[in-house]
């Protein structure tokens, strides 16, 4: 058997982690031949609940789960890790502005960013805790590890988009490919139906209803999180965890030829985005494990306006947290 992969999960007693941990321990992400050592981080008051989660993990008798560490210290949690799911953050409360959420959660990612320096030489970090793009920017800025090891999650938005296009076109989800969601995981994100394909054909040609695509589709994807909260009384959890797993798999497995996935990564100026912003792009992972942004996708003037708006939103978020950036 290979050496165990060391995987940290922050916010490990929370609802998203409750789904991530069991699926990672069962081998669904890193493979059925790779043992897993879980390193679970929580805040001190949640350590008892975390013990309960660990008891349940133990009760599953997962053959691949070799070890569990439970801690309230980011330095301990990140020591020697290969991957981290950065989920832990406070959810947005009633009446809270986005800027308040950014200021509330941002400091968490300063300390955790520094603690990432304790990771293994190949450490990689993905951020789920909101506002995930800007939290990822803060962690990246406060750590010394290479920028291409950081990403934030747009995959729930991609999956929501694919499902909706499949439903509208009467085709299976697997027929919907090339789904880019540009920019920020916020209600200004732009799910790009213009470049999406259904059964290998351009989505607008298959659906042939521009006003549904521009209005209903885009708004439904943008507001889906809020709709789930209204219906369930709690924010997306199993679907968010599922997306986190898809996200990591799409970064460690080669992307099928001609397709792409949506991942927020550090911009190197592609599509005119400010260098250094964590921006949702179409990404392809190569056979050697490196990844790149798919360049040269066309955008109508209507789409470009959506793109510019979400770019501007991320610039403003960076401004709000500039005191937390190194």
Q: Which residues bind ligand NAX (CB under 6 A)?
A: 10-11, 13-17, 41-43, 46, 87-91, 108, 128-130, 132, 153, 156, 185, 225, 235-237, 240
Please, what is the angle between helix 132-141 and helix 98-115, to 10°? 40
Is 185 labeled as catalytic in the residue annotation? yes
- Give yes or no for a contact between 318 and 281, defined as CB atoms under 8 angstroms apart: no
Q: Least distance from C-beta 221 to ligand NAX, angstroms?
A: 12
- What is the C-alpha separation between 289 and 83, in angstroms, rounded? 14
Min dist CB 321 to ligand NAX, Å, is: 15
205 phi/psi in degrees, rounded to 5: -70, -40
- The nearer residue to ligand NAX, 5 or 21, going by C-beta atoms, is 21
Q: Which residue is it, tokens 């960076």?
A: 318
Q: How far is the CB of 62 from ligand NAX (least distance, A)?
A: 21
CA 166, 304, 306, 215 torsion-angle sign? negative
The CB density around residue 325, as the number of other CB atoms within 10 Å, is 16
Of the pair 152, 273, the CB lying nearest ligand NAX is at 152
Among residues 10 and 261, whose Cβ is nearest to ligand NAX?
Answer: 10
Distances (CA, A) of 143 to 83, 176, 322: 15, 37, 15
Nearer to ligand NAX by C-beta: 236 or 284?
Answer: 236
Find the shortest distance in angstroms from Cβ 149 to ligand NAX.
18
Active site residues: 185
């Amino acid at each position: 058997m290979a050496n165990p992969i060391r995987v940290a999960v922050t916010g490990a007693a929370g609802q998203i982690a409750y789904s991530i941990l069991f699926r990672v321990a069962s081998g669904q992400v890193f493979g059925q031949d790779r043992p897993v050592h879980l390193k679970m981080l929580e805040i001190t008051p949640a350590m008892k609940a975390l013990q309960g989660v660990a008891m349940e993990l133990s009760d599953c008798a997962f053959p691949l789960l070799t070890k569990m560490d439970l801690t309230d210290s980011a330095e301990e949690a990140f020591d020697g890790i290969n991957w981290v799911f950065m989920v832990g953050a406070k959810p947005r409360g009633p009446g809270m502005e986005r800027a308040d959420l950014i200021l509330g959660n941002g400091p968490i990612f300063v300390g955790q960013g520094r603690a990432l320096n304790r990771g293994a030489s190949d450490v990689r970090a993905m951020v789920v805790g909101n506002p995930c793009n800007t939290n990822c920017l803060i962690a990246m800025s406060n750590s010394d590890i290479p920028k291409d090891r950081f990403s934030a999650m747009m995959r729930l938005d991609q999956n929501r988009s694919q499902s909706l296009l499949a439903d509208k076109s009467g085709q299976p989800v697997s027929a919907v490919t090339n789904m880019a969601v540009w920019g920020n995981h916020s209600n200004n994100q732009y799910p790009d139906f213009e470049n999406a394909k259904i059964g290998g054909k351009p989505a607008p040609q298959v659906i042939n209803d521009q006003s549904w695509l521009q209005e209903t589709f885009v708004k439904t994807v943008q507001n889906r999180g809020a709709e789930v909260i209204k219906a369930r009384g709690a924010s997306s959890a199993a679907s968010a965890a599922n997306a986190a797993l898809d996200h990591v798999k799409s970064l460690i497995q080669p992307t099928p030829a001609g397709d792409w996935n949506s991942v927020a990564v550090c911009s190197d100026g592609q599509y005119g985005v400010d260098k250094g912003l964590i921006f949702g792009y179409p990404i392809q992972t190569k056979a050697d494990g490196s990844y790149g942004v798919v360049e040269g996708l066309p955008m109508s003037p209507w789409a470009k306006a959506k793109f510019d708006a979400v770019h501007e939103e991320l610039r403003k978020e960076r401004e709000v947290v500039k005191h937390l950036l190194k």
